[in-house]
Structure 1
Amino acid sequence: MKAETAAKKLGILLEAAPEEFREGPITRDELAALMAEPPEWLEKLRREGPHPRTVIAAKLGISNSGLARSGVTDPLTTAEIKALLEAPPAWLVTERATQAEVRAEKIRVSDRDKERAARRSGGSGV
């Protein structure tokens, strides 16, 4: 697989990975080995960053779209993410509230669908 794909699967920013990782294709066995026993460079990237957008969004508790709406385009380090969480700017507060509403709505719809399914299965024998 391409190094870009492997980086996504590992949850790291490709540009921050060592050159030998970025240069060539990565086999599935090599990827499995990296996941099973991550080398120091991989552990450090996961711990300190810089992180890709999906990881930043997850750590901030917002969606990728929310991250884009906020104007955050550059990779962030773990320290930068912690600073945002400690003193959240207005956009982060808004996006986290939006994300909480989305999650609550998903739960509501799921519960509604389960209830409807239970009524259908319970009502078919009557």
Structure 2
Amino acid sequence: MKKVIYIIALILISCGDNNKIPPEVIPKDKFTDILFDIEIIDAIHTQKNAGVAKNDIESLERYNLVFETNKVSQKEFQDSFEFYQKEPNHMMEISDSLIARLIREEAKVSEELRKKRWRTKSEKTQ
């Protein structure tokens, strides 16, 4: 009987909330916001440098501004990134959210460009 109770206790403990995020880790929604800003910085930098992505002082300064704006340190971000990399379910959720947001933003920008071109065309024909 003691063995059965011991085995059940082990099963219950092992089925505990392993997906719980420690308090020192940046919450998923905030982490996603930070990654979004970093993706935008990287895209602008890559476009500005003719498709050549490189780590330079300008990008690092912008990353630091993102960290500062979000009130996190570079170390907190790095530690959180490492935590999420080890937790595939969390990282998948973050990635899905980030991709969806990037797609929404791209659609907004494309629509704004389309409207701007249409207005410009309309003005030329008048």
Decide which structure has the larger Cα Rg and report it: 2
Q: TM-score, normalised by structure 1?
A: 0.36
Higher relative contact order (CA 8 A, sep 6+): 2
Q: In proportion to residue count, which structure has more helix?
A: 2
- Normalising to structure 2: TM-score of the pair? 0.36
